[in-house]
Amino acid sequence: MKCHNHPKKEAIGTCVSCGKAICEDCATEIKGKLYCKTCIAEKLKTTEKN
């Protein structure tokens, strides 16, 4: 399985939010769960609004 953003990099897991395969560069771990950068950005936006 390769990273959704980096076709040449091996993914370390999938984003729990969108399900895309992500490599260590793209993944951010929050409370033991992996999120991609896109979903982190979305999450931050949502948090700001609330």
Least distance in angstroms from the C-beta of 49 to Zn ion: 18
Least distance in angstroms from the C-beta of 9 to Zn ion: 5
Please say whether the beta carbons of 32 and 11 come within 8 A. no
Our CB check for Zn ion shows the closer of 8 and 49 to be 8
Least distance in angstroms from the C-beta of 18 to Zn ion: 3
Residues that bind Zn ion (CB under 5 A): 3, 5-6, 15, 17-18, 23, 25-26, 36, 39
CA distance 9 to 47: 30
Phi, psi (rounded to 5 degrees) for 36 = -85, 165
